[in-house]
Chains A and B, each alone.
Chain A
Amino acid sequence: MKTPLIVIITAALVLVISFLIFTGTPIFVKNYTKTKVICGEIAGPILRLLNKPFLGAKHIFNTYINLINVKKENSLLKKKIDELQLDNKKIPELEQENKRLKTMLKLTESNPETWIVAKIIGEDLKNWFQCIIVDKGRDHGIKEKMPVMTPKGIVGQVVEVNKWHSKVMIINDTNSSVDVNIEGRDTRGILEGTGHTVLKLKYITKNDEVEVGDKLVTSGKDSIYPKGIPTGIIIAIDKNKAGIFYDIDVMPYNNYKRLEEVMILKKR
């Protein structure tokens, strides 16, 4: 069967238009965004609806697994008690962390209208991008570039808002960069996503003070994330790398694969 000419012409036309959308040609982007938003508004409720049985199944599965593992867990817990006794020595450090978390909690309690708690209902279909879909959207006051976090630390930022759901770009995404300070030191850098679990801390010069185990907090200078929010911990430093900067690996506090709920900070 011969391919009709009209199909080839239409395909070529769509190809050119999609390329122009990708390059950010305003007229095409505007119309395409409108179409995408309409489609997203149809898809959003279905995603929310479909997520519920999966959530239920996950709950049942976890309960079942828990029952099976009770015995094993018991003996493990006994071992853990011994370990915890050793860990008691770390109490001062934990107190400091507790203080920080309490500050975050106070922030939430004192200004409940500034925080929106959202459930994760979906994840990016492509592993080239790191994004999660949450069940709160425009109707709940969500806007683009709002920071997303958990009491543990930063998760990412809102990049696309629909009526009922929003897309959040995780700090692990290659397009993500966060302005951070090293806690307790006068050192500032940019935390960049790699597309994998470990992040890269960039632009830390070799005369800056930095050690493995140092904690990172947001500097608040990128005008997206508020100041002082924990982001991650330094796990490796390559001091022999050529050039003026260190090669630093950072483990984020949040493993987005295990998150169920997040907090979105409403900007005034």
Chain B
Amino acid sequence: MKVSIYILTGFFCAIIESSILSFIPAEFLKPDVTMPFIVYNVFFLSPQAGLITSVAMGMIQEIFSNAPDGSMLFTKITIFIFALFFKNKLYINSKYSFSYICSGAVIVESFLYLFLSWLSRGESGKAENVLFFMLPNAIFTGFIAIFIFSFIGFLNTKFFVRE
């Protein structure tokens, strides 16, 4: 139940972002709204929930993006595996530590995409572009993650029994 609600919220966040972006003439303001949901579900719910969320979010991003097929799915699943590995090593005690982890995940995702391009095609044509937007994306994702964490907290207290 929780997982599907979070995935749906992520889906609506992505749609709203795509819609709003067509009105805002800013290239930098493109946070990855799907990342906080993956991180949250891996760290606070079960590994199964994290895996389902990663697949769903990867696909949602590909639907609303010109990203090559499979690329976002690959990066999101890899992020899921990394998050799973670091689950017991990193401690999220506030919305700020959550936002740092989300920012870090965005940076890792940028390098993953470059690695994937290099691995499969022997070149990273978008390398300059990906690196150029890496930091702004991480900063804005971290910023938006604070609100998403608070929103999930609100959903938990309002509709779900705390675990």
Interface of A toward B, CB cutoff 8 Å: 1, 3-4, 7-8, 10-11, 14-15, 17-23, 28-29, 32-33, 35-36, 39-40, 43, 46-47, 50-51, 54, 58, 120-133, 159-160, 167, 169, 173-175, 194-196, 255, 257-258
Specify the chain A residue showing the minimal Cβ separation from B78: A15
Once A11-B51, A36-B59, A121-B22 are accepted as A-B contacts, the answer to whether A22 and B64 lie under 8 Å apart by CB is no
A255 to chain B, nearest CB (A): 8
CA distance A39 to B20 in the complex (A): 21
A198 to chain B, nearest CB (A): 12
B110 to chain A, nearest CB (A): 8
Q: Are A11 and B17 in contact (CB under 8 A)?
A: no
Q: Name the 9 nearest CB pairs between A and B, nearest first.
A: A21-B70, A131-B66, A195-B129, A22-B70, A122-B18, A257-B25, A129-B66, A18-B73, A123-B21
Q: Which of A40, A121, A257 has the most CB of B within 10 A?
A: A257
Once A4-B48, A15-B74, A18-B70 are accepted as A-B contacts, the answer to whether A127 and B27 lie under 8 Å apart by CB is yes
Q: Are A132 and B22 in contact (CB under 8 A)?
A: yes
Query: Which of the segments B94-102, B120-128, B144-152, B154-162 contacts the partner chain?
Result: B120-128
Residues of B in contact with A, size category = 35 or more
A104 to chain B, nearest CB (A): 24
Once A7-B51, A19-B74 are accepted as A-B contacts, the answer to whether A174 and B64 lie under 8 Å apart by CB is no
A-facing residues in B56-78 (Cβ within 8 Å):
58-71, 73-74, 77-78
Q: Are A122 and B22 in contact (CB under 8 A)?
A: yes
CA distance A121 to B23 in the complex (A): 9
Taking the complex as formed, is B47 at the interface, i.e. its CB lies under 8 A from any CB of chain A? yes
The answer, among A17, A128, A169, for a CB contact under 8 Å with B129, is A128
Q: Are B15 and A11 in contact (CB under 8 A)?
A: no
For A160, the chain B residues whose CB sits under 8 A away are 66
CA distance A88 to B55 in the complex (A): 59
For B32, the chain A residues whose CB sits under 8 A away are 125-126
For B133, the chain A residues whose CB sits under 8 A away are 127-128
A-facing residues in B33-65 (Cβ within 8 Å):
33, 46-48, 51, 54-55, 58-65
Interface of B toward A, CB cutoff 8 Å: 11-12, 14-28, 30, 32-33, 46-48, 51, 54-55, 58-71, 73-74, 77-78, 80-81, 84, 113, 116, 119-120, 125-126, 128-130, 132-133, 137
For B80, the chain A residues whose CB sits under 8 A away are 11
CA distance A20 to B70 in the complex (A): 8
For B19, the chain A residues whose CB sits under 8 A away are 47, 50-51, 54, 121-122
A–B Cβ pairs within 8 angstroms, 19 of them: A7-B48, A19-B70, A19-B74, A19-B120, A22-B70, A33-B69, A36-B59, A39-B60, A47-B18, A122-B18, A122-B19, A122-B21, A125-B17, A127-B27, A127-B129, A131-B65, A132-B22, A133-B18, A174-B126
Q: Which of B81, B84, B119, B129 has the most CB of A within 10 A?
A: B129
For A126, the chain B residues whose CB sits under 8 A away are 30, 32, 61, 65-67
Q: Are B81 and A29 in contact (CB under 8 A)?
A: no
Specify the chain B residue showing the minimal Cβ separation from A54: B19
For B119, the chain A residues whose CB sits under 8 A away are 19
Q: Are A173 and B66 in contact (CB under 8 A)?
A: yes
CA distance A227 to B80 in the complex (A): 48
For B46, the chain A residues whose CB sits under 8 A away are 1
Specify the chain A residue showing the minimal Cβ separation from B73: A18
For A121, the chain B residues whose CB sits under 8 A away are 19, 22
CA distance A174 to B78 in the complex (A): 25
Q: Are B81 and A46 in contact (CB under 8 A)?
A: no
For B71, the chain A residues whose CB sits under 8 A away are 18, 22
Q: Are A125 and B65 in contact (CB under 8 A)?
A: yes
For A7, the chain B residues whose CB sits under 8 A away are 47-48, 51, 84
The answer, among B26, B61, B81, for a CB contact under 8 Å with A11, is B81
The answer, among A22, A28, A47, for a CB contact under 8 Å with B116, is A22
A18 to chain B, nearest CB (A): 4
CA distance A10 to B81 in the complex (A): 11
